[in-house]
Amino acid sequence: MINLRDRIKLVFNELWAEDHDVDPPELQDDTVLLETGMDSMGFAVFVTMLDDELGYDPFAADSEAVYPRTFGEFVAFYGKHAPDE
Amino acid sequence: MSNLGALLTSNQSDLDNAIVIGTAERLNGRDLLSLGCKLPKRFQGSNVALKISDPLTFIKALFALDGQVHSVTILSPDLSAEATAVVMNKADADVLIASLDELQGDEQFEPVRSSDTKWRLTTSGTTGEPKSVVHTFGNLVRSVKPPRAGTHSPIWGLLYDPSRLAGLQVVLQAIGGGGSLILSEAHDDIARRVELLVRQGCTHLSATPSMWRKILMTPLSDELNLQQVTLGGEIADDRILSALCKRYPSARVTHIYASTELGVGFAVQDGKAGFPASYLTSMLNGLAMKIMEGILWIKPSNHVNRPSAAHIRVDDEGYICTEDRVQIEDDRILFLGREATLVNVGGVKLQLEVLESKLRNHPMVSDCAFSSIANPILGSVLKLEVVPAHPVEDEKTYKREIKSWCRENLQIEAVPAKIELIKEMALAVSGKMQRVSKCVR
């Protein structure tokens, strides 16, 4: 089974392809999300797609307002709230 | 016109003709008029609430009560017990009638048609608790057209729940217009109901634009021989109006503007969306209109007939807020949607009905509904439910095409974050489209 990081990447790439003709950026742990070329509308859609793909929305689950800045933080945030399997 | 009995006797030419045609029973004028004579005395002057799902029973109960009781509160059959109690309490209603058995008794009396029974109608109540509005009979029949000499009696089909304003209008128009009324079973699917209407020779039909879209998708709808096509309850856009004009070339296509708050508003018959801007300056059907901050306000002319309820916003000049957002385009006033369906996505205000109307132009889309879902980044984003026009082979490709079309033809904020393909649009009891709003948080 592919890991969480790769599942998130796949969804990102799928969304990217809808709106861009060029290849998606390589997502590293220190990649700053807002510098990937995806705007806030894109991220809003991204989170909705992840909710469908993963079955949960960590932003809704977390009582504090969390704003992951890098891709590494983003994946860790999703990992923290992943439901026990 | 002060009550149902008077409406019937003055407009029906032959009291032996069948007026109400149910699936199991037909009622002529005499049958209907005799109902008021059988009401037990204990109901005289009382405040009664009706909650009846069978349209024939409902109409019988109306004839039995109108002019005899002080007020009739008409409740939607699907109203919860809790909401029923709230509305009844507000209306001082002490009796709830769910079947005709409850209107029988030994202590009958010779009826005196007091003629001033108040009719209390409830709004669809799609948001929050249902609100109720008191109307006089005169207000409800203001737009009823008496029969015209030399024309065939209209045969109306009832697709609406008669406990709602739109359905009640059809009942009153059929009776007061010298015609008859075909009842169908609400739980039957649209194809079966259309089949019944074809079989009974329906000539006049009223439905919401959402219902009409479903009717047009029913093959048997070709066989309806309609002289009158009426739309109401939702925005009638150019697309549905022209589709109906094309399918029923000999019909007059009318879209009605009405609301539970206002009662009957006005009708537009030129086959175009919206209404002429000249309506704002000339009194129409006794109504004065104005636009304030993009919202339509309407003032009924006759103060006596003005509906009353606590939730209605009325300004100093007596104009009632319709909560409908409108836009002036050249010499036309176009409806954009309800105040409540204006959604804010990332600071951009989107009117869901406008988006739906545009997307319905897509050749691969038969019908669609936008709703808002909570989103941690932008507050909310849009979800789209779409009924494909043709069978879809690859769902992913279809969704991508729809998204790409939205990106090119709508604001970027209106591009749906989520798309669901559905077989058919869910309609509420009111016949209006049911927007599914899922709260993510």
Token pair, residue B317, equals: 């000049």
3-class SS of residue B283: coil
What 3-state DSSP class applies to B368?
strand
pLDDT (tens digit, 9 = 90+) per residue, B290-314?
A: 999 889 999 876 654 555 666 778 8
Tell me whether residues B346 and A44 touch, CB distance under 8 A: yes
Quote the tokens at residue B239.
């697309």
Q: pTM to 2 decimals?
A: 0.76
Interatomic CA distance for residues A60 and B440, integer angstroms: 7
B153-209 pLDDT per residue, tens: 999 999 999 998 889 999 999 999 999 999 998 888 888 999 999 999 999 999 998
Which residues of chain B fall below pLDDT 50? 126-127, 304, 437-441
Whether B400 sits inside 8 A of A18 (CB atoms) is yes
Crossing angle for the helix pair B395-409 and A4-19, to the nearest 10 degrees = 50
Quick count: other Cβ atoms within 10 Å of Cβ B17? 15
- Quote the pLDDT of residue B289: 92
Higher confidence at residue B174 or residue A34?
Answer: B174
A11 contacts chain B (CB < 8 A): no
Under DSSP, the state recorded for B146 is P
Mean pLDDT calculated for residue range A29-48: 87
Q: Which of B381, B404, B407 sits opposite A44 (nearest CB)?
A: B381
Q: What is the pLDDT of residue B441?
A: 28
CB spacing of B418 vs A48 below 8 angstroms: yes
Residue of A nearest to B347 (CA): A41
State the smallest CA–CA distance between residue A49 and chain B in angstroms. 7
What percentage of chain B has pLDDT greater than the value 90?
A: 49
Chain A nearest CA to B368, separation (Å): 19
Q: Cβ–Cβ of A43/B407 closer than 8 Å? A: no
Q: For position B302, what pLDDT does the model report?
A: 62
The rounded distance, in Å, linking the Cα atoms of A61 and B237 is 41
Which residues in chain B are closer than 8 Å to A43, comparing Cβ atoms? 377
ipTM beyond cut 0.85: yes
Q: What residues contact A80, with CB distance under 8 A and at least 6 apart?
A: A58
Cα–Cα distance measured from residue B212 to residue B418, given in angstroms and rounded to the nearest whole number: 26
Q: Which of residues 362-421 of B touch A (CB under 8 A)?
A: 373-378, 381, 400, 403-404, 407, 412-413, 415, 417-418
Whose tokens are 């304003």? That residue is B165
Give the pLDDT score at A67.
Answer: 76
Strands B47-50 and B95-97: parallel
A76 touches chain B (CB under 8 A): no
Residue B255: strand, helix, or coil: strand
